[in-house]
Amino acid sequence: MTEPAENPRYAEGIDEQIVLEHVTADEYEIILKELGRAPNLVELGIFSVMWSEHCSYKSSRIHLAKFPTKGERVIHGPGENAGVVDIGDGQAAIFKMESHNHPSFIEPYQGAATGVGGILRDVFTMGARPVALMNALRFGDPKHPKTRQLVSGVAAGIGGYGNCVGVPTVGGETNFDKGYNGNILVNAMAVGLADTDKIFTAAAREPDFPVLYVGAKTGRDGIHGATMASAEFGKGSEEKRPTVQVGDPFTEKKLIEACLELMAEDAISSIQDMGAAGLTSSSVEMASSGGLGIELDLDHVPQREEAMSAYEMMLSESQERMLIIVKPGREHVAERIFKKWDLDVAVIGKTAEHGRLVLRHKGEVVCDLPLDPIGENAPKYDRPHFPAEARARINPAQLRAPEHLGETLVQLIGAPDMASKRWIWSQYDRHVMADTAASSEDPADAAIVRVHGTNKALAITTDCTPRYCAADPFEGGKQAVAEAWRNLTAVGADPIAITDCLNFGNPERPEIMGQFVGCVEGMAKACEVLSFPVVSGNVSLYNETDGRAIPPTPGVGGLGLIPDMAKRAGYGCMSEGDVLLLVGETAGALGASLYLREVEGREDGAPPQVDLAAEKRNGDFLRAQIREGRTVAVHDLSDGGLACAAAEMAMASGCGTKLAYTGPVPLFAWLFGEDQGRYLIAARPDAAEAMLAAAKAGGVPVEVVGLAGGRFVSVNGGHAVDIIRLKQAHENWMPTLMAGEPEANAAE
C-alpha cells in the first residue's frame, strides 16, 4: 500500500472535476502555490467567487487604469462602493452604475429588481440618501419570440422594486437590436446625497472591532451568482435560475433608514453591502482594504433555511444584507436601531491583525486563508487583443436620396430606437420625494433632480451608441462619453464626472478584447479632454450565447450640477416665430447611422468622428448662452440627426419647424447625418442675434437653419409632415409591440 502524499493535490471530497467547476486549471496551480496545500471546499468556493471576472476584474484591471479618475470635485474615485463628488455647500453626490445582465435574462423580474436593490445599497452604504435611479436597457430584435416577455419582466422588476423602496426612477434609455437576442443588458444607476463630512467607507481600520451582520436573513438564493455572471450562456441557461437572487424592496427601505440612523450615531467604523459573492466579498474587501484580517463565526449568521453549510452561507447572494464594523462598546446602539426596524442584527466576528480570513462553523475552523491572494493579488490577465478593422467612410453623394424626406422622418421617429418608451417608464414612480424637475416624461436631454432645500439640482444621463462602438471601438468610446457630456450641457449643467458599465462578450477572444481595449481608450481620451473623470463603475464580460457576443456596449452614466434651477433648459418650449440655430459643423456623417440601418438596411461605414476640442468649445458656449437666458429650447443632436431633433422639439412644443438649407452636403445627409458636437437651439429673434454675435466672437460655428411655426415639420418649403402624424408614429410603436404585434409598423 502506497503512503499518502505529504501535500495531497486535492482535499478530502474534492477531485479535478470539482476544481474545474470553480477555477481554471492554471488558477488552481496558483492556489496550491500560494497556500502550500490543497484548499478545502469552502476555501475553493471563496477563491471561485473572488477570482470571478465579476469580482476581480482580472481581464480588465490593467486597462481600467487608463481612465482619469481625479478632478477638482472628486472626493472618492474608483475603489469604493460608489464615486463621490463635491457639489458645494458641504454636500456631495454619490453615484454608481452596475450591471445585472445575466440574472435578468434568466429571470427578468427578479434579475432587474435585485439590480435596483444592489445599486441602491452601493450608494447608501457610503452614507448617502438615494434620490434618483436610472437604467440603461438593451433588448433583442422586437420580432424575437422572447423579447416581449423580457421587456415586460424587466420593466415590472425595475418599477416593482424602485417604486416600493420609494426612490424615483427618473430616466434612462432603451434600445433594441438583434445582437442582444441571447443576452439582454440591464444596467442600473443610482444617485444619492450626503454631507461631505459624513462619508462612510468600507476599509476596516482597527483590529478587535466587532463585525455585525444586519438586514435580512441568509438563504440559498444567489449561490454562485458572481461566477454565473462571469460565464457565457449556452444550452441550459434556464437551469441557472436558482443562481438569481430574490429581492424584497420593503426590507431594503427599512435597511436604508436603519443604516442612515446608525450612521448618525457615530457608532460605525466601516460598512459594506453584501452584493456579488455576498458575505465572502464584503468581509474580504473590508479586511484587505484596511490591511487587516477578519474572523467570523458562521453559527451566528441569521439564516432563513435549515442546515446551511459554511459554503452556502459564504457564497449566498441573498439580498438586503450589510456588514458593519462598529466601534467597540457600540454594539448595543446597532442592536437597538436594527431591532426597532425589525431587521436581523448579530455580532458574527471581529477584525484581527493577522491578515487572514478565518471562518468557524460548528466549532471547527472551516477556512483559514491569507487575504492578499484572494483579493489584491487575484490573477490579472493581459489578454491578447487586436484592433477592429477600420471601416471605409460613406460618401453621402453615393447614396440614393429618398423621394419624400418627410416620410423618411416618420419612419425614423417611429423606429424601435427612436420611438417613445412611455410603455416602460410609465410603470416607474418618477416623482416620489417631490424633487424631480425633469424625468423621462419631460422634454429634456437629461433628468434633473433638485437638491432638497436648495436652488441647485443634479443632472443625470445614461448614454452609449453600440453601433458606433461596433464600427470603431475607439471613436465609439469617445462618443459615449461625449454624448453624456453633451446631454448634461444641453440642460444647462456643468458636467462633473461619470460612472460606467462596460458590457462586452468573451474577453478570451482577441477580437472581443480588442473591442474592450478600444472603447476604454476612447473613453479615457474623452474623459481627459472634457475634464470628466471616471469615479466608479462596473465591468460585465462574457455577455454571449453559443459564441455570439453582444455589440460592444460601454454604458456611461453622467452627473452634472445645475447651480441655479432658474437657469436650466429643455426642448419643449418652442413657439411661433422662434429662430432655429444649429451649433456645430455638419458634414452629413451617415456611417453606422440610424438612417443607414433603418432606411438603407445597412450597418456598415465608419461612425462619425468625435472632435473633442470642438465638443468642449461648443458645449461651453451653449452653457453660457443658457445662463444668459438667451435660449428658449435646446436639444442635442444624436440618433437621426438634425431632422429627428427638430421633430422631437416640434412634438414636445406643439409647434412646427420650417428648416431651410442650400448645400453643399446633400439635403438628406444634412437632415439625417449624425455629426457630433451639435445642438439645435430655439431662440427669440433678438436673442438669436446676440448668440450669433457671441459665437462669431468666440469662433464657434453657429448658423440659422430655420424658424418655428405652424403644425408641420418641413424643409425648404416641402417634404412636410404633420406633427400629429409624427406623434402617432413615435408613440404607437411600443404599445403595438407589447400588445403582441411585433411585425406591425406604426409608421406605416
Are the C-beta atoms of 530 and 489 separated by less than 8 Å?
A: no
**Amino acid occupying residue 475:** E
Alpha helices (runs of H) in 569-684, residue ranges in sequence order? 594-599, 612-627, 641-653, 667-672
DSSP one-letter string for 278-319: HHHHHHHHHHHHTT-EEEEEGGGS-BSSTT--HHHHHH---S
Segments of 108-165 assigned E as strands:
129-139
Q: For residue 588, what are the β-bridge partners?
A: none
**Residue 358 backbone dihedrals phi, psi, to 5 degrees:** -120, 125
Cell numbers that stand for 95 in this block:
453615484
Q: Please, what's the b/e burial string for 120-158 (b: 16 or more CB within 10 A of its CB; e: otherwise)?
A: bbbbbbbbbbbbbbbbbbbbbbbebeebbebbbbbbbbb
Opening angle at CA 511, ends 64 and 509, nearest 5: 85
3-state SS, 421-443, equals: CHHHHCCCCCCCCCCEEECCCCC
The DSSP H or E segment spanning 562 is: strand 553-562
Short-list 67, 31, 77, CA closest to 51: 31
**d(C-alpha 132, C-alpha 443), whole Å:** 18
Length of the chain counted residue by residue: 748
**Residue 40 backbone dihedrals phi, psi, to 5 degrees:** -80, 180
Distances (CA, A) of 336 to 322, 332, 333, 350, 538: 16, 6, 5, 20, 35
**d(C-alpha 710, C-alpha 124), whole Å:** 49
Are the C-beta atoms of 213 and 335 separated by less than 8 Å?
A: no
Short-list 729, 737, 579, CA closest to 644: 729
Short-list 614, 636, 609, 635, CA closest to 698: 614
Q: For residue 288, what are the β-bridge partners?
A: none
Are the C-beta atoms of 622 and 490 separated by less than 8 Å?
A: yes
**Residue 438 backbone dihedrals phi, psi, to 5 degrees:** -155, 130
Give the contacts of 702 (CB within 8 A, at least 6 positions apart).
581, 582, 583, 621, 691, 692, 695, 696
Alpha helices (runs of H) in 166-277, residue ranges in sequence order? 225-228, 249-263
Cis, peptide link before residue 664, omega less than 30° from 0: yes
Interaxial angle between packed helices 249-263 and 108-124, expressed in degrees from 0 to 180 and rounded to the nearest 10: 10
Exposed, middle or buried, 70 (CB in 10 Å: 0-12/13-18/19+)?
exposed
Alpha helices (runs of H) in 310-438, residue ranges in sequence order? 310-315, 331-340, 371-374, 405-413, 422-425
Give the contacts of 17 (CB within 8 A, at least 6 positions apart).
none
**d(C-alpha 536, C-alpha 13), whole Å:** 40
**Residue 210 backbone dihedrals phi, psi, to 5 degrees:** -70, 140
Question: Which active-site residues does the annotation give?
Answer: 54, 100
Opening angle at CA 251, ends 249 and 256, nearest 5: 90
